[in-house]
Homo-oligomer: A and B are copies of this chain.
Amino acid sequence: MADPAGAIDALATMNQLLEQTIPRAHQMGVTFAELREGYVRAAVPFEGNGNHFGVVYAGVIFTLAEVLGGALHYATFDVSTHYPVVRSMNIEFLAPGKGPLSASASLDGTEIARIRTAAANGKVPFELVAEVVGEDGTLVARTRGDYQIRPYGT
């Protein structure tokens, strides 16, 4: 398997970090599947995550989308100086999740540059939109999260 820019190691590291930092997400089976500057994708199995309607429970879908922010921060910004927090999130449930789900989010180059520049002066808010899809591509949920990256010590 090709490994441009050490992407596989970053992914393995991020999955270890998830297990250590958010045990409940790890317990759900959430894993990062793709990770590079400005882009992250995570996945979750159906097993153990269903509800009485036979679909993936809302709180699992929320978690799958929410963890993207931290991973994107890790892959894109300076983790030695700044940490990410989620301030608020809106989640729309658009279709039932009837099997394994995948969620992805991205920031484009212009937005990354804006955040990096502003981060030198303190907290920087940014919005992250994530889409949660089923194996057949069905759009199951969309989230719009208000995140901040903050310098350590603030």
Contact = CB atoms under 8 A, between A and B. Distances in A.
- Give the number of times this chain occurs in the complex, counting copies: 2
Interface residues of A, number: 29
Interface string A95-135: 00000000000000000000000000000000000000000
B58 A59 contact: no
A31 interface: no
B88 A90 contact: yes
A24 B52 contact: no
A68 to B, nearest CB: 12
Interface stretch (A1-9, A15-23, A34-42): A15-23
Contact of A59 (B50, B52, B62): B62
